[in-house]
Every structure is written in structure tokens, then in C-alpha cells.
With several copies, the nearest count.
Chain A
Amino acid sequence: MAVLLSKKSRVLVQGITGHQGQFHTRAMLDFGTKVVAGVTPGKGGTKVEGVPVFDGVREAVHRRRANASIIFVPAAYAKDAAIEAIEAGLKLVVIITERIPFHDCLEVMPLARSRGCVVIGPNCPGLASPGQAKMGIMPNQLFKEGDAGVISRSGTLTYEIVNAMTEAGFGQTTCIGIGGDPIIGTSMVDALAMFQKDRKTKRIVVVGEIGGTAEEEAADFIERRVTKPVVAYVAGRTAPPGKRMGHAGAIIQGNRGTAESKVKAFEAAGVPVAEYPVGIPRLLAAT
């Protein structure tokens, strides 16, 4: 088993006819995901990788019983797409799209919460549950079924770490790329709570980075509520203060949000922090 998605999840791809949508629909199918429908306004009636395309989400849900959606539509239309998915009653929406104005997310997230819908992202690599399903853009071959839950704010850095885990024999229950934007649907703490509750997950990997206080809050939550072993990596130790590092998230302000502060918080919570990304498996071996 896994958190959030499983073999039974019936996945809808919003923006399926675009380059990314099409490419990753193929990859998700290859992963074993039940991709049951796609949506692109105006392209209803066509097919992509054998998946029927509809004009609207309501129709896709009605006709194909989709219950989760992954969004690839461009930033300017992502808010509309997410709201359409939430209002069609989907309970899991993964937003891959990057560069969405965060004011749009300020509207989407409370709506999702009021409807009991879990949003992952935006600006994230999505979700992968090896042996179950994938809703995301992570390379398929990285993963291996196992008992570690992975939570990360980053994309490629996560691939690096998951790859190292898999090579060292540490498989994953689910890998959640929560995304690096200022306003995200599922926080590090939310994801930790899911893994703590999941019976199959025996250990947890947290991949953080500078900016914001998500890691500090995660450390606090781990100390109070998480009984499973947690190990961490924090990117940005050498980043100079006051510079933005791509992720809107990565801005250092004062002494909050620095790598030092995050590493210190994790260590105080009994979470060992790897110096190198590839150090994660070694730390896992000790759990």
C-alpha cells in the first residue's frame, strides 16, 4: 500500500494534449497507473496514448469515474483547471505546473480544504507509489517498492536521493514532491502526518531546502507526533543570504529559513541530517 494513491486510483490528466501531458501520460501508464481520461477544452473526442480526451472535468468524471487529477496546463490556466477539478468532486489534485502566481493558490487552497480535496503542489514533481501508481513526472526507473516514505520540496534533487536509496536497497512506499512554491496544498507537516498514519511506511526521508520555515515546523511536528524514524537532507548550506535560488521558496530572511536553522531544528528533534544527498541511505541503514 501507499499514501494518497494506489493501483485503484482512476487518474485524469488535465492538459493531456500538450507536450508534457502527452509524454507523462505515457510514462504514468508505463508505471502501471490507471490513467482513465484526459481533459483539454476543445479536444474532446480525441485520444492520447489510448486515453479518451474530454472537454471538461465533470464529463470525464461522469464518463470514466476519474477520482484524481494531475494538472499540466500552463500557469495562466492552472487556477481554472484546479478549481474545475475540485468542483467536480475529485479528492486528489496534483499540480505539476510551475510559475503559477501564488495569489491564485491563495484562492485554490482554501476552496480545496472546504471541499475535503487534497492538493499536491504546484510546481512539484508529483507523487509516485512504486508498485501502485504514479501521478507525476519523476523518472519511472528510479523507484523500488519498499517501506520508506519520501517527502521533498525539490525535483531533480529528489531523483538523486531516491536513486541512491533504490541502489542501496531502500525502497519507497510513496514519494511526495510537495513543491517549492510559497503556497502549496500539502505541507511537509501534512505529508509527515500521512506517513506516520500509513502502516506500510516504516521510515521517512525529508528533503528540505533553504527558505521558509517548513523544515523547522516539520522538526517540531516530528518531535511531538512522529514515532517512525526520520532522516533528512537540507539543500542550500552554501547559499548566500538574500539571494533567490530559483524556487520562489528559497529566499533567506534574517536567521530564519537558513540551512543552519533547519539542520539544527532537525537534529534537535532527533532527525539525523545527511551532509551529502547520497548520505541518506547510510542514515537509513542506521534506522
Chain B
Amino acid sequence: MKFLEYKAKEIFARYRIPVPQGVVAASPADILDPPLPCMVKAQVLVGGRGKAGGIKAAESLDEARTVAGQILGMDIHGFRVKQVYLEERLDIGQELYLGVTIDRSAREPLLMASAMGGIDIEAVPHDRIYMEHIPTVVGIQPYLVRSLLKQLALPKEVGDQIASIVGHVYDLFRKEDAELVEINPLVVTKAGGVVAGDAKLVIDDNAEYRHPEYANLDQDRTPLEQEAHDKGITFIQLDGDIGVIANGAGLTMATLDILGLKGGRGGTFLDLGGTDDPGKVKQAFEILIEAAPSVILLNIFGGITKADTVALGVKQALEEMHTKIPVVARIKGVNEAQAKEMLRSIGMYPAETVEEAAELAVKVKSGGP
């Protein structure tokens, strides 16, 4: 789950991470009493909004409304701006970077910091980034903060504030099941205060059940992806035209790759997961058909599942939906021969292997075979 800046800052504030004053608005008329002078910031789940013109200064209420009106409705890298956040303007002395994320290799959280904040962390030279693992067993310890402050060469007054912020950020990271907590820039004001200039927060989707309060937040999904998500189906829209559906993420990726090698382009990534439930198969096909592919490529490696049962499920789903989209299917499992026969009988194109199925899909799409 991703969070818009203002929402992330609400959560930051709960964890006593200092954030500037601010108000959120969905239209200029909503803006009544913004902190002035302020920054008007587009609320979108994508980076680079500043360069795209999504952040502007305002001195007065009138100007704030005018600027908000310009930003609201903008398209930033494919995302429409539905809300703006009007935030007190900071008297910036220094911009730092602070983040906690997960390091798969070390299987531990990673604490990151840099004195070169305000820019994309990937653009900061490696030796200018402080990175240390946080031992989960014991959490943040004083030595971590000491080495961080030393590397960033910060004065003591600022150091104490950052020490406390690091503790709160890690606390939030653990308690909110975060994948990423990022403050960039972490602003040191000219007066010597330390405040989160921006806030990026990503929470583990698998932990959604522990945080029902975040269940209905807007995510960076297409409407169809959202629909699939709500039905518990793993579905991603891609820019090709062949609808790929398979069971298992790895196999679905491999099917897309094979299709690519055979000259086709996948238009969907649809992971059917367990194939036992005919209702789930039907739901998946509904999503797939809504995505309007020129041809559907179905690849099921059942192993334990009976191939003919799956074939029957697919047949029923497609018949009920009265679709004319051709389907190339490769279903592996017990009773493959019967399954193949059944698919052929209802006008589908059965294939023996994925490679064959991919070739067939490309041909069918081009009007063949």
C-alpha cells in the first residue's frame, strides 16, 4: 500500500516525527485557512511531481487557491491530481535524506541516510549514503545513531533531534508493517529545527489485515487493476495485446517471456493462483475480457489438478460470457488428452507446450492459423 504525502504525514505525526503544518484540499473552494506563506503540493502516488510542476509556492489565500486550481486535475506521469496539500513553507538550512527499508539479502531492515537530501537517492554517490542494517532482535541502538551522525557530520543540537527521529521512524516501520519509510528531504531549518519535508510510506500489502484503517486508500492501479485487486486477483495491465493468464507468478512471467520470444506482446499479467475454484476462474476471465485482448493465452501447469476439470471450468466461463475472443490454451495435468479434446470441441486452440501455445497465439492474432 502506498500513501499520499499528507496521509503519510498524518501517520508520521502519530509517531512523533515532526512534520510541518498543512491542510489538504480537493478543490480551491475547500481552501479556507492554509498556513501562509505555503507550498501547494500535488498529492500523487508517483515521484518527480516537483519537476512536473506539481509543487508551487503561494503567499496569500487567493494565490493558494489560484495555484491549487492549476495543480488540481494535472496529469503527472499518468496520474491525475485529485488533491493538493498546502503546507507551511520551511526556512530551509540543509536538506538531508533519511529512510528505513528492507534488505532482502541481509534479511534485516536497512537504515539509510545522507547529507545530500532533496534529490533522488539513486542519484547520490554510493559513498555519500550512510547504510547500516538494523538488527531486528534488538532494534535501533545508540551506536547506529552515533555512526550515522558522524558520517553526516551534523552538529550536536541537530544530532539529538535526528537521533529521536530515527527511533520514531523505526518504530513506525515495525509497528505499521512498512516496506519503506522515507523522508526526503529531512529539512534542517535555519532556526535549527528538524522537520520532515516530504513523506513516503509503503506498507506491506500482506499486512493489510492488521491495518484495516488503511483499507480504502487510493492506490496506483488502473480501474481494472483495482477491480481485480478487490476480487483478490493478481492482475496487471501491460501494453501488449495478448491476454496472458497462467497459474503462479513465476510461470505467468515465464509465459509472457516465451510469448515475447515468439514475437507476441502480453497485454495482461494474470496469475490465476489455485485452479480448484470454478468461480475464481470465471472472475479471472471476466477481468481478462474487460481488458479486451486480441487473443487469450492460457497456460496452466496443474500437476495435481485434473486438466479436464480445468478445461471444463474455462469452457463454462467463456460460454456464459459470450465472448468471441479466441483462446489458445495449454493445460497440463491429469487427463490432458480429454482436456485437449474438450477445448478443440468448443473452438479453442489447444497446445501441448507453452512454446507451441505462444506461437499459436501470435498466429491466431494475425488471423491464422
Contacts and interface: CB of A to CB of B under 8 A. Distances in A.
B234 interface: yes
A159 B301 contact: yes
Interface residues of B, number: 59
Contact of B104 (A103, A141, A212): A212
Interface string B129-161: 000110111100111001100100000000000
Nearest 5 CB-CB pairings of A with B: A154-B250, A139-B303, A246-B249, A156-B248, A157-B250
Contact of B147 (A56, A111, A157, A238): A56
Interface stretch (A64-72, A74-82, A192-200): A74-82
A278 B122 contact: no
B95 to A, nearest CB: 21
Contacts of A207: 250
Given A101-B177, A139-B303, A240-B238, A275 B261 contact: yes
Interface stretch (B50-58, B68-76, B188-196, B204-212): B204-212
A49 interface: no
Interface stretch (A2-10, A179-187, A222-230): A179-187
B147 A58 contact: yes
A100 B253 contact: no
Contacts of B261: 275-276
Interface stretch (B4-12, B105-113, B307-315): B105-113
A283 B27 CA distance: 61
Nearest to A112: B137
Nearest to B355: A276
A149 B102 CA distance: 29
Interface stretch (A168-176, A247-255, A264-272): A247-255
A159 B260 contact: no
B81 interface: no
B104 A109 contact: no
B177 A103 contact: yes
Contacts of B353: 278
Nearest to B150: A55
A260 to B, nearest CB: 12
Interface string B98-134: 0000101101110000000000001000000000110
Contact of B136 (A107, A237, A247): A107
B249 A154 contact: yes
Nearest to A239: B253
Interface residues of A, number: 77
A239 B256 contact: yes
Given A103-B207, A247-B250, A254 B354 contact: no
B239 interface: yes
Nearest to B46: A242
Given A56-B146, A57-B143, A235 B254 contact: yes
B79 to A, nearest CB: 13
Nearest to A109: B107
Interface string B274-308: 00000000000000000000000000011110000
Given A81-B143, A103-B204, A160-B251, A237 B236 contact: no
Given A84-B143, A103-B177, A209 B238 contact: no
26 contacts: A27-B304, A55-B146, A55-B147, A56-B143, A59-B147, A83-B143, A86-B135, A87-B133, A100-B206, A103-B177, A103-B204, A106-B108, A106-B136, A110-B135, A154-B248, A154-B249, A157-B254, A160-B301, A182-B102, A182-B179, A236-B253, A237-B260, A244-B236, A246-B269, A248-B204, A278-B354
Interface in A147-165: 152-160, 163
Contacts of B250: 152-158, 180, 207, 209, 235, 247
A243 to B, nearest CB: 5
A207 to B, nearest CB: 7
A245 B254 contact: no
Contact of B257 (A79, A235, A278): A235
A41 B150 CA distance: 10
Give the dominant DSSP class at B's interface: mixed
B226 interface: no
Interface in B225-271: 234, 236, 238-239, 246-254, 256-261, 265-266, 269, 271
A142 interface: yes
Interface of A: 27, 41, 55-59, 75-77, 79-81, 83-84, 86-87, 99-103, 105-111, 114, 138-139, 141-142, 152-160, 163, 180, 182-184, 187, 207, 209-210, 212-214, 217, 233, 235-240, 243-250, 254, 259, 275-278
B206 A111 contact: no
Contacts of B102: 102, 106, 182-183
B110 to A, nearest CB: 12
B362 to A, nearest CB: 14
Given A159-B303, A180-B250, A238-B256, A246 B271 contact: yes
Contacts of A209: 249-250, 253
A77 B146 CA distance: 13
A238 B236 CA distance: 13
A211 B105 CA distance: 12
Contacts of A111: 135, 137-138
Nearest to B301: A156
Contact of A80 (B122, B141, B256, B332): B141
Contacts of B206: 75, 99-102, 248
A236 B257 contact: yes
Contacts of B246: 156
